[in-house]
Structure 1
């Protein structure tokens, strides 16, 4: 298939990739709570091609579209890092469909989801636990002035005079 990305060529920054792979293993669905507080079901599926294998995260209904031994075609997928490990995702702009070509040979030696990456894709991290901001930024925002206007009562000068 034209424009298909081989599994060994996937990187943590891969976006808009088309991947053809054979389903090697379908995990049990897990309930997780997203960062938005929604409960969602995710199923991890391992797919492979002649260059390697990768873990594919299928959300909700998507999981029913992959069964062991079947070839699937991921259109417009992307890579995310889950605890530093690559996961291929279909996403809301992508799709998963039965592959029109058979993947007969799978290289099971190379698992690109095994390698651990630094989570460098969420800002610079700046030494604040990867959130990119010191925790003090989160204080005082809701309480009215939130740190502004300190000089209006001479707070800084008063400290110096004592």
Structure 2
């Protein structure tokens, strides 16, 4: 892992994310069905933080038992996904998670990116353009009656 990103610099479109962060909390695993093949998987959310901020990390199946509260993790090739209007860090198929001996004592959980609502596309408040909308009003055809 060459470049190390800071949590505060993550955006809804961040890809190839490399982070070193402390596991602040971890939820109990729950069973969910896959939208692709209907198989059952285990899922848990973990709040991770560095000195710049915090974000929810989604853990699937075998990665759930790799981490515990208080661990420092090194995450490489992850990506940010917006789920129900909130940013989450995901490992996906190509991401890697490992425990490291690096100490992170001063972490910032106040700047939690997963608590901030993210608007995408037509859901933006304040009159953002929507698909099918034109500033000239509704589209009409002339000459064919």
CA deviation after TM superposition for structure 1 residue 81, in Å: 1.0
Match of 1:86 in 2: 87
Instruction: Work out whether 1:11 is the aligned partner of 2:11.
Output: yes
Taking the TM superposition and a 5 Å limit, the aligned residue runs for 1:1-162 are: 2-36=2-36, 37-120=38-121, 126=131
Match of 1:142 in 2: none
Match of 2:138 in 1: none
Unaligned 5+ runs, structure 1: 128-162
Match of 1:143 in 2: none
| TM-score for both structures, normalised by structure 2 | 0.79
**Pairs aligned (count):** 125
In structure 2, the CA distance between the partners of 1:100 and 1:125, relative to structure 1 (3 Å rule), is farther
Which structure has more RCO (C-alpha within 8 Å, separation ≥ 6)? 2
Q: What secondary structure sits across from 2:114 in the alignment?
A: coil
**1:73-92 deviations in Å (ceiling 9; x for gaps):** 11101011110111101111
Higher helix share: 1
| TM-score for both structures, normalised by structure 1 | 0.71
CA deviation after TM superposition for structure 1 residue 32, in Å: 1.6
Larger Rg: 1
In structure 2, the CA distance between the partners of 1:2 and 1:101, relative to structure 1 (3 Å rule), is farther
Query: Could you tell me how far apart the structure 1 residues matched to 2:82 and 2:58 are?
Result: 11
Give the superposed CA RMSD.
2.0
